[in-house]
Amino acid sequence: MLHYFRIWLASVRYSIVRTMMFRGDFLVWSLVELFWMTVNLLLINVIYRHTDSIAGWDKYEMILLVGTSMLIQRFLMGFFWSSIFEMGRNVRTGAFDFFLAQPGNIMFMATTRKLDPDGLINSVVAAGVVLYAVNQLGLQPGPLDVLLYAFMVGCGLVIHYSILVLSISLVFWLTSAQGVEGTYFTLTEFSRLPREAFKGFVSQALFVWLLPVVVVSNAPARALIDRFELSWAWTLGPFLFAAAWFGLAVFVFHRGLRRYTSASS
pLDDT tens digits for 131-161? 999 999 888 888 888 888 999 999 999 999 9
Phi, psi of 57 (to 5 degrees): -105, 125
Q: Where are the domains of the chain?
A: 2-257
Nearest to 72 by CA among 209, 213, 181, 203: 213
Distance CA 203, CA 224 (A): 25
Q: What CA–CA distances, in Å, run from 186 to 9, 57, 61, 191, 207?
A: 32, 23, 23, 10, 12
Q: Is the pLDDT at 37 greater than 60, yes or no?
A: yes
Cα dihedral 125, 162, 82, 151 in deg (nearest 10):
30
Q: How far is CA 215 from CA 81, 97, 178, 212, 262, in A?
A: 20, 36, 26, 5, 38
Write the pLDDT tens digit of every residue in 76-120. Answer: 989 998 888 888 888 888 788 888 887 788 999 899 988 888 888
pLDDT tens, residue by residue, 40-57: 889 898 999 888 888 888
pTM of the model: 0.88
